[in-house]
């Protein structure tokens, strides 16, 4: 799983996403896995969608990497992009938006 995530983030870095930088990739994968696996426990929605999980993952990554989440602004789009790419690896095939 971690290798697949690393490969997906490496492709994202090659496409120009600044959040998928190689230096922080291992930490990002660890945090992303932990956040993804704890979603059911933390989420109170009856029927969460894949989009709900992606947004939750993006917010978790932002909170882990940004000292002040109020100042993230447009960079949040990059966290969402990373979360979407990670979700393509982590989501079971039956989970759809």
- The confidence score (pLDDT) of residue 94 equals 60
Whether the predicted model's global pTM rises above the 0.75 cut: yes
- For 24-66, give the secondary structure using H, E and C: HHHHHHHHHHHHHHCHHHHCCCCCCCHHHHHHHHHHHHHHHHC
What token pair was written down for 60? 């978790």
Residue numbers of the chain with a pLDDT score lower than 70: 94-97
- The confidence score (pLDDT) of residue 73 equals 87
Distance between CA atoms of residues 95 and 97, nearest Å: 7
């Amino acid at each position: 799983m971690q290798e697949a995530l690393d490969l997906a983030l490496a492709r994202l870095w090659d496409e120009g996403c600044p959040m998928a930088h190689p230096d922080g990739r291992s930490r990002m994968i660890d945090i992303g896995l932990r956040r993804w696996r704890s979603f059911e426990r933390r989420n109170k929605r009856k029927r969460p969608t894949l989009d709900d999980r992606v947004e939750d993952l993006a917010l978790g990554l932002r909170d882990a990497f940004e000292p002040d989440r109020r100042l993230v602004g447009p960079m949040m789009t990059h966290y969402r992009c990373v979360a979407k790419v990670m979700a393509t690896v982590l989501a079971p095939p039956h989970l759809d938006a």
